[in-house]
Amino acid sequence: MHPLFEYIKQYVTVSEEIFNNELKNSFIKKEIRKKEYFLIEGEICKNFCFIAKGAMHKYHTDDKGIEHVVNLFVENWWAGDRESFVKQTPSAYTVDAWEDCELYLINRENSTKLLKESSIFNEFILKLDEQHTISTQKRITSSLSLSAEKRYEDFVSNYPHFVQRFPQHIIASYLGITKDTLSRVRRKALKT
Amino acid sequence: MHPLFEYIKQYVTVSEEIFNNELKNSFIKKEIRKKEYFLIEGEICKNFCFIAKGAMHKYHTDDKGIEHVVNLFVENWWAGDRESFVKQTPSAYTVDAWEDCELYLINRENSTKLLKESSIFNEFILKLDEQHTISTQKRITSSLSLSAEKRYEDFVSNYPHFVQRFPQHIIASYLGITKDTLSRVRRKALKT
């Protein structure tokens, strides 16, 4: 079964036939190796990708050259930069493969076309955006209202697979806490 | 002209006739007074609202009883809690009127119906979600990568009207910085 079909049918009612006829050909399979770039800061995000296998991470580099991890992705996540993709402007982010990846890419033209022509794709994107809005609201609330300790606990309980696949300094950056704080929090968590 | 029509036509091509026939009746006008609640933590968010006049703020209360401002809203913004609205589960947020407000409310039933039946509404929500995704990504990146000083500068330059309408302690909470830090940053900004 096509991995994208398997994923999409969790969100919308769609037959394999409709998926094959309406959606499948708008996506191109691409394999990238660990450390290879999917998007480089300053370039236009021409494609969005569905991750069928592997892990990626997205970061922004500040004026001092420090990298700030803004997103972590594993299988069944979408990666790219929405602003750059929509407006076709240079991206403020870099996205690269943290592990070897199998991706399904869709470009802006195909995405716009599907949104206009396919009610299934439309319904799917609405659901995806809805879920995304809910999870980013939670992330913002947690960054404003929780201690570093509680943020890490929540992260481990919500995304246990991320802790296994990304190193501590990447998770610390994603959570907006220093590596030392994360080490302290982890040591404390192990003791209890 | 209906304030919602004026707003929606900035996003999608729609005539006043179609707006009146397809969309208008799904929204109910409601006026609420300053300090009145639109949503109370623990209750289900039965309606989402478009703010035609006034200002609102949304906050989460932590275990210690401290309120954390997660969103500020003025005219032409939408307020509510998406998760509670979509899943019909108790909300983790309170939304209240910071000034007297004129609102246009839509309930879950009407929203679901419009999404199914109105291609205009569908297109509009897609655009709104797109914009929302872009702005929350920016907010997360800024909270991870910028100093309190730069975050405040960006906030003033992006939302100058918010600075005029909300007091310092509310803006400090929204930016995730202490009131003292905000005072220091403001003093420094005034000197330069």
Q: What is the pLDDT of residues B79-131, one digit of tens each?
A: 999 999 999 999 999 999 999 999 999 999 999 999 999 999 999 999 999 99
The residue of chain B nearest to residue A60, with distances taken between CA atoms, is B141
Statement: residue A191 has pLDDT above 80: no
Residue A177 and residue A172: Cα distance in Å, rounded? 5
Amino acid at B44: I
Question: Using H for helix, E for strand and C for coil, what is the string for B107-159?
Answer: EHHHHHHHHHHCHHHHHHHHHHHHHHHHHHHHHHHHHHHCCHHHHHHHHHHHC
The phi, psi pair for B80, rounded to 5°, reads 155, -170
Looking at the partner chain, which of B66, B134, B141 has a beta carbon nearest the beta carbon of A60?
Answer: B141
Please give the Cα distance from B96 to B118 (Å, whole number): 30
Return the higher-pLDDT residue of A1 and B124: B124
| Phi, then psi, of A166 in degrees rounded to 5 | -120, 145
Asked if residues A2 and A15 have their Cβ atoms less than 8 Å apart, the reply is no
- Mean pLDDT of all residues in A112-125: 95
B23, B56, B25, B61: which is closest to B42 by C-alpha? B61
> By C-alpha distance, which of B108, B102, B125, B87 is closest to B38?
B102
Q: Are A136 and B140 in contact (CB under 8 A)?
A: yes
| ipTM higher than threshold 0.95 | no
Q: Are B69 and B174 in contact (CB under 8 A)?
A: yes
DSSP B92: S
Q: What predicted TM-score, i.e. pTM, was given to this entire model?
A: 0.93
What does R_g of chain A's alpha carbons equal in angstroms? 18
**pLDDT band at residue A178 under the 50/70/90 scheme:** confident
pLDDT at B189: 73
Cβ(B102)–Cβ(B54) under 8 Å?
Answer: yes
Question: Do the chains contact at B125 and A126, CB–CB below 8 Å?
Answer: yes
Tokens of B28: 């109910």
Coil, strand or helix at B169: helix
Residues of B in contact with A136 (CB under 8 A): 133, 136-137, 140
Between chains, do B133 and A68 touch, taking CB under 8 Å as contact?
no
- Closest residue in chain A to residue B178, using alpha carbons only: A144
Residue whose token pair is 């970061």: A59
Query: Which pLDDT does position A187 carry in this prediction?
Result: 83
Instruction: Give A-chain residues touching B139 at CB under 8 angstroms.
Output: 140
CB contact under 8 A, A83 and B146: no
Give the pLDDT confidence of A131-166 residue by residue, as tens digits: 999 999 999 999 999 988 889 988 989 899 999 999
What integer is the mean pLDDT of A59-71? 95
Q: How far is CA B28 from CA A15, A27, A39, in A?
A: 38, 42, 44
Q: E strand or H helix at B28, and its extent?
A: strand B28-32
Counting as low any pLDDT under 50, the low residues of chain B are none
Interface of B with A in 163-192 (CB under 8 A): 173, 176
Closest partner residue to A137 among B62, B82, B143, by Cβ?
B82
Tokens of A35: 């450390």
Q: Does B41 touch chain A (CB under 8 A)?
A: no
Under an 8 A CB cutoff, do B140 and A92 touch?
Answer: no
